[in-house]
A and B are shown apart, each in its own frame.
Chain A
Amino acid sequence: MSISVHNISKTFKDVTAVNNISFDVKEGELFGLIGPDGAGKTTIFRILTTLLFADKGEAIVANYDVIKDYKSIRNHVGYMPGKFSLYQDLTVEENLEFFATIFGTTIEKNYDLIKDIYVQIEPFKTRRAGKLSGGMKQKLALCCALIHKPKVLFLDEPTTGVDPVSRKEFWEMLKRLQKKGITILVSTPYMDEAALCDRIALIQDGKILEIDTPQEIVKHYPKKIYNVKTDNMYKLIECLKSYEHHYSVYPFGEFVHYTDKRDDFNPNELHRFLEEMDAVNIIIQPTETTIEDTFMELAK
């Protein structure tokens, strides 16, 4: 095990940020903590990176105890906090050099590891970090977190506030790092990113809702989901909610995700119902379950 967490709890004043959480991350695994803002993701990261004491429970990172061996952990993990914590007034190169020096290494020594990423920002190496776009800051922050060749990499919401292109590239980079044997714990509020992890923990209000591979988690969903669409979204939602057999009705992009209480649900019946309610251009079609559907079902 690269990370193992047992019954960790943490309370700030009267808010329970993390409530009796346990999970394990295997060596070389890409593990995702998926949950909205305020779910407790950052607190978990801070406990694992030895920045906070848990009120109770224990945690082991790279075979070190987070309390007793905090000094060793600090030598062996890479951490990228929520905001890209870079020195805005230092250039790209100076930032990287600085982090290399404080970890007692040099850029040259571990260049192999960051090469893929660094070449993308190298053309801007004399630019100040404050003048970089979100995507470039994210890449630089990743390079800085990797420069000492950590065994475990902690990435707290690395894709928040970054454009879709950079997000996609970022996940591709993580996959490549994983192949080099680095264990990665990543958090994100974006449900669509969950599918890119080996295993995920869905987390809300400091509690883990479920831990499994994204594929398995989706399979656990108890119902068949239908995409429903008509001309008027607002009226559609009202209609579906008034339909006596509805189990759940959630707007989902341009469709509504609808599930029915009955196991032998026939979409044509719903179609007729909607027609009676004067809906036009009715579309009802089965659709795939997403992580987000599962999350809502579990969080209900």
Chain B
Amino acid sequence: MKRFVGFIKKEFYHIFRDRRSLFILFGMPIAQIMLFGFAITNEINNVDIAILDHSKDVTTQEIINKIASSKYFSIKQLIQNEAEIEAVFKKGKVKAVLIFEKDFSKNLTKENNATIQIITDATDPNTANTISNYTNSILQKYQQEINKNIKIPYQIIPKTRMVYNPELKSVFMFVPGVMTIILMLVSAMMTSISITREKELGTMEILLVSPLKPFQVIVGKVVPYIFLSVINAIVIVLLSIFIFKMPVQGSLFLLGIESILFIITSLSLGILISTVSATQQTAMMISLMGLMLPTILLSGFIFPISSMPLPLQVISNIIPAKWFIIILKGIMLKGVGLTFIWKETLILAGMTLFFIVLSIKKYKIRLE
């Protein structure tokens, strides 16, 4: 045990003496959150929506058909009452719900105006915005069609309401993404670099030719980075709460546990990378190209997974970050508990176990 503690102490010396990396490590979360605070426009494609039709008449049916036939939306579910709205959102099944008021057709012909309510999930503010714009344009088009031969035009009034993030703050949406990236970077890249550095220096040879067990070397390398990652996660959450006034809806305890799970996933990936690379440079390249890029591009952090081509959607399933982002959004923005995210948690845990077993198998107690 004393050996192990001595090892960890040494690791902390390394980390705290490399001022530049340390600065990047703790400066990055701040910089990234600021950076991604700005909105980025995205296209939408086949967004799942649900429909609550109180009227069920010819006009609503026509509008529903118009929406269903557009390439932007696919109708996932027809729901029967207001109470179900909350449930479909929380399950993450749909991004928006359209509600037709009672007697829609009658109101339109008699009063010359009828109301349609659009409720969007604004945890992803760009998508939410785009959804409401696209819906409006479909409605307007329909309106023009029916108004062709009529003197006093019929008017459909859309009322948009955003739930979960009504102020449309992009930063809320990016917080889970940034947190994922940072944890991935600190855990996977820094660990793999720090292990390969020992190989490059030749100190790994001495460590191997010492009574220290390989398992101890690896765990010793990993512990400081768990610590650093947890600090980073806390910094990010505090930043979001106090600077951007982001309300964290769910349990902080659950958030912590899930974060640690993801940190361990990333660390095991880092160890795996270090077993296949001989130099720090290779480790860095593999981490950046093999981990960071897919994480940024395919996790749903910047580009909504629902608007990706099918092959990429399939690939996105093997990106651990995708599941962690879903978990984070669930906890932070929707306030859901484990009952809603147990599936994602299980997937992430499974991946972690797989990577750990693989890296233990790959780790060599000799040089070749």
A residues bordering B, Cβ < 8 Å?
46, 49-53, 70-71, 73-75, 77, 79, 81-83, 85-90, 94, 97-99, 101-104, 128, 144-145
Residues of A within 8 A of B5 (CB): 101
A73 to B206, CA, bound (A): 13
Q: A90-B10, A98-B10, A104-B2 are in contact. Are A85 and B205 (CB under 8 A)?
A: yes
Are A79 and B203 closer than 8 Å at their CB atoms? no
Residues of B within 8 A of A88 (CB): 201
Are A82 and B202 closer than 8 Å at their CB atoms? yes
Q: A85-B201, A86-B203, A89-B13 are in contact. Are A102 and B7 (CB under 8 A)?
A: yes
Are A81 and B202 closer than 8 Å at their CB atoms? yes
A118 to B271, CA, bound (A): 36
B residues bordering A, Cβ < 8 Å?
2-3, 5-7, 9-10, 13-14, 17-18, 201-203, 205-212, 365-368
Are B2 and A101 closer than 8 Å at their CB atoms? yes
A81 to B207, CA, bound (A): 11
Q: From A50, A73, A94, A104, give the contact of B13 (CB < 8 A).
A: A94
Are B6 and A102 closer than 8 Å at their CB atoms? yes
A12 to B135, CA, bound (A): 66
Are A99 and B206 closer than 8 Å at their CB atoms? yes
Q: A82-B202, A87-B201, A101-B3 are in contact. Are A49 and B209 (CB under 8 A)?
A: yes
CB distance from B215 to the nearest CB of A (A): 13
Q: A50-B366, A94-B13, A101-B6 are in contact. Are A74 and B211 (CB under 8 A)?
A: yes
The chain B residue with its CB closest to the CB of A45 is: B205
27 contacting pairs across A/B (C-beta < 8 A) = A46-B205, A49-B205, A51-B205, A51-B366, A51-B367, A53-B368, A74-B208, A74-B209, A74-B210, A79-B209, A81-B202, A81-B206, A83-B202, A85-B206, A87-B10, A87-B14, A87-B201, A90-B10, A90-B13, A90-B14, A94-B10, A98-B10, A101-B3, A102-B3, A102-B210, A102-B211, A103-B3
Residues of A within 8 A of B18 (CB): 89
A75 to B5, CA, bound (A): 19
Are B7 and A101 closer than 8 Å at their CB atoms? yes
Are B211 and A104 closer than 8 Å at their CB atoms? yes
Are B209 and A52 closer than 8 Å at their CB atoms? no
Are A103 and B210 closer than 8 Å at their CB atoms? yes
CB distance from B260 to the nearest CB of A (A): 27
A46 to B208, CA, bound (A): 11
CB distance from B348 to the nearest CB of A (A): 34
A98 to B17, CA, bound (A): 16
Residues of A within 8 A of B208 (CB): 50-51, 74
Residues of A within 8 A of B203 (CB): 85-87
Are A81 and B2 closer than 8 Å at their CB atoms? no
Residues of B within 8 A of A74 (CB): 208-211
Residues of A within 8 A of B3 (CB): 101-104
CB distance from A198 to the nearest CB of B (A): 24
CB distance from B212 to the nearest CB of A (A): 5
Max chain B C-beta neighbours (<10 A), residue from A71, A77, A81, A144:
A81
Are B212 and A102 closer than 8 Å at their CB atoms? yes
A49 to B212, CA, bound (A): 14
A98 to B366, CA, bound (A): 21
Residues of B within 8 A of A77 (CB): 209
Nearest first, the 3 A-B pairs at minimum CB distance are A101-B6, A85-B202, A85-B203
Residues of B within 8 A of A81 (CB): 202, 205-206
Are A52 and B366 closer than 8 Å at their CB atoms? yes
CB distance from B222 to the nearest CB of A (A): 17
A50 to B205, CA, bound (A): 10
Are A46 and B367 closer than 8 Å at their CB atoms? yes
A86 to B211, CA, bound (A): 18
The chain A residue with its CB closest to the CB of B367 is: A51
Residues of B within 8 A of A128 (CB): 17
A3 to B201, CA, bound (A): 27
Are A79 and B7 closer than 8 Å at their CB atoms? no
A98 to B2, CA, bound (A): 11
